[in-house]
Amino acid sequence: MLRNFKVLTPASLNEALYVINNIEQPFRFLAGGTDVLVRLKDNPAYAQALVDISKIGELAKIEEHKSTFVIGSGVRHEALLAYGPFIENYNGLIEAVAAIGSPQIRTLATVGGNIGNASPAGDSIGPLMAFDAEVELRSQDSNRIVKLEDFFTGPGKTVLKHNEIITKIILPKSDALKSGWKRLGQRRAVAISKVSVTLALGFVKHSNGSDRIADVRIALGAVAPTVIRARKAEKFLLENQTLTKAVIKEACGLVAREARPITDIRSNTEYRSEMCGVLLGDLIEKLACAR
């Protein structure tokens, strides 16, 4: 019921922090609105107020610092896709974000919204997690940085407190990493991922001239209550250093076992687990060849 429904539109971050510190009704943020408005329409009890942070300019910037990129939580997906340094060095992120929804959705939806929504299938989350991104959470009287990996506690659940806003996503520079992202959906566009895998690989030249793995990050989407890192497979690849057929096969088997998917209306447990391995294999092949 929308009779007592409130929409508050703070003009600045400080105003927004004040608003959420003092608001009494259960509220939701309106950033891009591509999820919140749909849910509200389906279920009027979803929120009694919206705090519209979509017009706060300071949240909509991407900044380059010495060792990091700082992405404002209000940056729209299309803006992220147009940002030169990401196109050059963060292929996995670009691939993932380009697959979110449709052009209409990407024009409105924000990076902070995709994270705050905390869907295990959130497509931008895997690559950000693989790049060890952190989020800045601010309230009127506090400011904390949380690793993205520690931010999610379950489907739709995060450590964000009721008076906090996700303000920034801090993305470490990682020019040495090559990355890629792949997913399977129920169709080829405007699809919710039923499994997604991000892989980032760094290589060093060994004294014998061959390439050795120096760094490896794997993130899995839609196969656990949150997006997860596949630590066992990462460790295994790092220890083995070279990408022989046997090593790749073993790593693919490991990610399949690290996944903890469910059977739901989109897919089933066994398929999702196995596909983590298949997609990882595809990504290894792609990144190893691309060097």
Partner 1 sequence: MLTKKQSLYSVVGKKVNRVDAYEKIVGGARYVDDLAFEDMLFAKMVCSTIPSGRIKKIDKSRALKLKGVAGVFTAEDITGLNKIGCVVDDQPLLAKDAVRFAGEPFAVVAAETREIAEEAAGLVDIEYEPLEPVLTVDDSFSEKIKVHPKGNVVCHYKVRKGDNIDEAFGKSFKVYEKTFTINYQEHLYLETQGCVALPENEGITVYGSFQCPFYVQGAVSTALGLPLAKVRILQCVVGGGFGGKEDVPSEYAAKAALLAYVLKKPVKLILDRAQDLMVSSKRHPMKMEYKVGVTKKGKINALKVRVLADSGAYTTLSTVVLFRSSVHFGGPYVIPNVSGDIIGLYTNRVPCGAYRGFGTPQVIYAMESMINIICNDLGLDPFEFRKANALKKGAASITSHKIKESCGLIETIDKARKESEYDRRKKEFDKWNADKSKRTLKGLGVSSIFYGMNLGAKGWFYDKAGSHIQICRDGSVTLCVGNVEMGQGAKTVLAQIASEALGCEIGAINFTNVDTGIVPDSGPTVASRTTVMSGNALLDAANKLRKKLVAAAAESLKIKPNQVMAKLGKYYNIKDSHQFVSFKDLAGKCYLDNVGLSEMGYYVSPKVEYDLQSGQGEPYYVYSYATAVSEVEIDKKTGELRVNKMTCAHDIGRVINPMLASAQVEGGVAQGVGYAIMENMVSEKGHIKTLGLSTYVIPTTKDCPEVKSVFVEDKSKDGPYGAKGLGEPSLMPVVASVVNAVSNAAGHQFEHVPVLPERVWEVLSEKNSSEDESEVK
List of residues contacting partner 1 (CB under 8 A): 1-3, 42, 44, 184, 186-192, 265-268, 271, 274-275, 278, 281-282
- At its nearest, how many Å lie between partner 1 and the CB of residue 56? 28
Judged by CB, which is closer to partner 1: 44, or 172?
44
Please report how many Cα atoms fall inside a 13 Å half-sphere around the Cα of residue 122, on the Cβ side. 31
How far is the C-alpha of 128 from the C-alpha of 149, rounded, in Å? 9
Cα–Cα nearest to 147, from 227, 208, 257, 60: 227
Instruction: Decide: 60 and 32 in contact? Cβ < 8 Å.
Output: no
Judged by CB, which is closer to partner 1: 83, or 271?
271
Cα–Cα nearest to 248, from 195, 289, 204, 207: 289
Instruction: Decide: 233 and 255 in contact? Cβ < 8 Å.
Output: yes
Judged by CB, which is closer to partner 1: 1, or 208?
1
- At its nearest, how many Å lie between partner 1 and the CB of residue 259? 15
Report in angstroms the alpha-carbon separations of 15 from 55, 236, 265. 12, 48, 42
Burial of 162 (0-12, 13-18, 19+ CB in 10 A): exposed
- At its nearest, how many Å lie between partner 1 and the CB of residue 230? 18
Judged by CB, which is closer to partner 1: 211, or 274?
274
Coil, strand, or helix at residue 26? coil
Cα–Cα nearest to 216, from 122, 114, 104, 130: 130
- At its nearest, how many Å lie between partner 1 and the CB of residue 45? 10
Judged by CB, which is closer to partner 1: 16, or 233?
233
Q: Which two tokens stand for residue 129?
A: 């997690």
- At its nearest, how many Å lie between partner 1 and the CB of residue 268? 6
Judged by CB, which is closer to partner 1: 12, or 186?
186
- At its nearest, how many Å lie between partner 1 and the CB of residue 265? 5
